[in-house]
Structure 1
Amino acid sequence: MSRIAFLGTGSMNEAIMGGMIAAGTDPSEVVATVRRAERAAELAERHHVVAIAGSEDPQANLEAVRDAAVVILGVKPVGIAALAREISPSLDTHTIVVSVAAAVSLEQLEAALPKGQPVVRAMPNTPARLGHGVVSISGGTNATAEQLAQVRALFETVGTVVEIPESQVDALSAISGSGPAYAFYLAEAMAAAGAELGLDPELSALLARETVAGAGYMLAEPGADAAALRRAVTSPNGTTERAIAAFDKGGIPAIIAQGAKDAADRAAEITASLD
C-alpha cells in the first residue's frame, strides 16, 4: 500500500499535500475528499491528484481510504469521531490514521476506530502552508516507531517536526499553534505605535510587517538564540534598551506567559467538551 488519503482537504491539509508532492510524492498515489465538486476540480487541476466530492459521491471517504497506507483527517474537531466511525469498515489493519484536528485526543480517536488501528495525533501550525511550519506528532497505543517515522517524513515536507508525548500537546499548541497569532498581534501593535508617532499608517504597517518577518528569518538561522539576538541589537543606554525596559516594566513577559497558559487551558476544555 502506498496511497495517501486526505479527508477534508481544507487549507491546512492542502498545504501538507502540496508539500509532500513538491518533495517527490507521486500525485497519482494521492486522493483527497472534499464536500463540493468545485473544490474537487480545483484540487485535481492544481495538484494532479484524484479528488472526490462528497456532494456527488456519498461513498467518497470510504473509497478514498480503501488500500491507503496513511489517512490524514482534516475536518473540524467536532466531526472527527463521526468521520473515523464512517471510514472504519474500509480501513486496512495497517493503515495509519493521522488527525490534524486540534483538541481531539488519541483516546477519543482510537475509541472511534477499529481496535488496534495505528493512530497518530499531529499538531501543525499555519506557517506549514509556506513550508515553514512546526508540526508535533504523538503516537497512539498501536503506532510503532516505524510508523511514527513514516508520518514524520511526510510532515517534514512542510516544516520542522517534533515528537512529543500527548500530555504536552496543549502546551505546544499554546506556543507554536497559537504562536503565529502572537507574532501578528505584535506586528499590529508596532504598526499602530508607528502611526501614533506620526508615520503614515501604510508605511508604518509595512515597516512592522517586514521587521517581524525579517527577525523571523534571523531566528531561523542554524544555532540562532532569541536572547542572544535581542542583546546584539540592544546597545547600553540606547534606544532599544529604553524600549525593552518599558516592556519589562509593563510586565510583557508575564502577560505572554499568562496568555499561553490560558490558551493551553482552553485547549483542554475543548478536548473535554468532545467526550
Structure 2
Amino acid sequence: MSNRIAFLGCGSMNEAVMSGMLAAGTDPADVVATVRRAERAAELAQRHHGITAIAGEEEPDNNKQAATGSAVVILGVKPVGIIDLAREVSGSLSPKTIVVSVAAAVSIAQLEAALPAGQPVVRSMPNTPAKLGRGVVSVSPGTNCSADQLQLVKDVLKGAGTVVEVPEEQVDALSAISGSGPAYAFYLAEAMAAAGVELGLDPDLSLLLARETVAGAGLMLAEPGAHPTALRKAVTSPNGTTERAIATFDERGMPAIIADGARAAAARAAEITKQLA
C-alpha cells in the first residue's frame, strides 16, 4: 500500500484539510485530488504545487483512478452525493484502504453499507480554519477500523489542526460548536463592525477594528492553558465600560441565544441524516 492520500471532491472543506496537511509537511507527490472541472483542477495544481489534480470532465473515471492504490481516501463532496461516490469507488479500494468522510450528516452505518464488507471507515468533521493548520478535526471510527488505522487517519489529519476523537453520537453536537463555529465568530465581527458604524466610525475603520480584534482574541485563546472565562474577566474591570457591555449582553440573553443556535444546528444535522437515509 502506498502513502497516497486521495481527496475525492475538493471543495472548500477538503481543500482546507489538504492545505493544512501540505503546510505541515505532507509530500505533495503523495496527494491526489479529484474535481469536476478542468479549470478547477488547474487552479488546485497551481496553488498546491506538486499534487495531482484530475478533472472529471476530462477523465470521467477520475475518482476511481485516485482511489486505486491509495492508503487513505477522503470523501469531500456534498452530503447528498457521498453515498453515490462511495459506491462509485468501492470496486477500486484495497481492503486496507481507509475511507474517511468529512460530510456532515452522513452516518457511519450509511457509509459502510455503500462500501465493501469490512472496509475500514472513519467519520470526520473538520472546520475551515483547517486550511491555516488551526482547525478542529473530529474522528469517529467505524465498525471495522482498527486502532492502528484510526491512528493513521489522526496522523494524516493533524496537519490541519487539533484532532479530537468522539463517539459518533456526539458528532452533531461537535458540528454545532466547531463545525459551524467559525461562522459564529464571523457573525460577531460583522455585528461589531456594524455597531462601530452606528457609533460614528468610518465603515472601513470599523471593519478593520472588528476584524483585528476578533482575530487577536482568537490568538489569545490559542495560548497554552488559556480559558475564555479568565480572559474575559481580565478585560472586564469593575464598573468599567466592558463590564457595562457584558451586563447588557447578559440582560438580553446572549448566552441563551447562542445555546439555542447551537441546538438548532445540531437538530438540523440530525434532520439531514434522516433525509439522506
TM-score interval w.r.t. the shorter chain?
A: over 0.9
SS of 2:71 mapped into structure 1: strand
1:269 corresponds to which residue? 271
Deviation at residue 157 of structure 1 after TM alignment: 0.3
- The range that moved more, 197-206 or 97-106, is 197-206
Q: Report matched runs for 1:76-225 at 5 Å.
A: 76-225=78-227
Deviation at residue 205 of structure 1 after TM alignment: 1.2
Q: Report matched runs for 1:229-268 at 5 Å.
A: 229-268=231-270
Deviation at residue 32 of structure 1 after TM alignment: 1.3
Counterpart contact for 2:14–2:76, Cα < 8 Å: yes
The size of the alignment, in residue pairs, is: 275
Deviation at residue 76 of structure 1 after TM alignment: 0.6
Aligned residue type for 1:163: E
Distance 2:251 2:173 in 1: 26
Distance 1:231 1:21 in 2: 38
Deviation at residue 84 of structure 1 after TM alignment: 0.3
SS of 1:68 mapped into structure 2: coil
Distance 1:157 1:193 in 2: 37
- 1:35 is aligned to 2:14: no
Question: Where do 5+ consecutive residues of structure 1 fail to align?
Answer: none
Aligned residue type for 1:23: A
Distance 1:104 1:62 in 2: 21
Deviation at residue 146 of structure 1 after TM alignment: 0.8
C-alpha deviations, 1:166-219, integer Å up to 9, x for none? 000000011011111111111111111111111112211111111111110100
Deviation at residue 45 of structure 1 after TM alignment: 3.0
Distance 1:10 1:201 in 2: 32
Deviation at residue 9 of structure 1 after TM alignment: 1.3
Aligned residue type for 1:17: M
Q: What is the TM-score when the length of structure 2 is the normalising length?
A: 0.97
The alignment's C-alpha RMSD in Å is 1.1
Aligned residue type for 2:115: L
Deviation at residue 56 of structure 1 after TM alignment: 1.2
Deviation at residue 40 of structure 1 after TM alignment: 1.7
Counterpart contact for 2:12–2:128, Cα < 8 Å: no
Question: Where do 5+ consecutive residues of structure 2 fail to align?
Answer: none
Aligned residue type for 2:153: V
Q: What is the TM-score when the length of structure 1 is the normalising length?
A: 0.97
Distance 1:186 1:42 in 2: 32
Q: 1:71 aligns with which of 52, 70, 73?
A: 73
Deviation at residue 24 of structure 1 after TM alignment: 2.5
- 1:15 is aligned to 2:19: no
SS of 1:180 mapped into structure 2: helix
Deviation at residue 44 of structure 1 after TM alignment: 2.4
1:57 corresponds to which residue? 59
Deviation at residue 227 of structure 1 after TM alignment: 0.3
Counterpart contact for 2:18–2:131, Cα < 8 Å: no
Which of structures 1 and 2 has the larger relative contact order (alpha carbons within 8 angstroms, sep 6+)?
2
Distance 2:89 2:241 in 1: 60
Distance 2:8 2:221 in 1: 34
Distance 2:19 2:135 in 1: 13
Distance 1:58 1:193 in 2: 50
C-alpha deviations, 1:219-275, integer Å up to 9, x for none? 000000100000111111111111111111111111111111111001100111001
Aligned residue type for 2:77: V
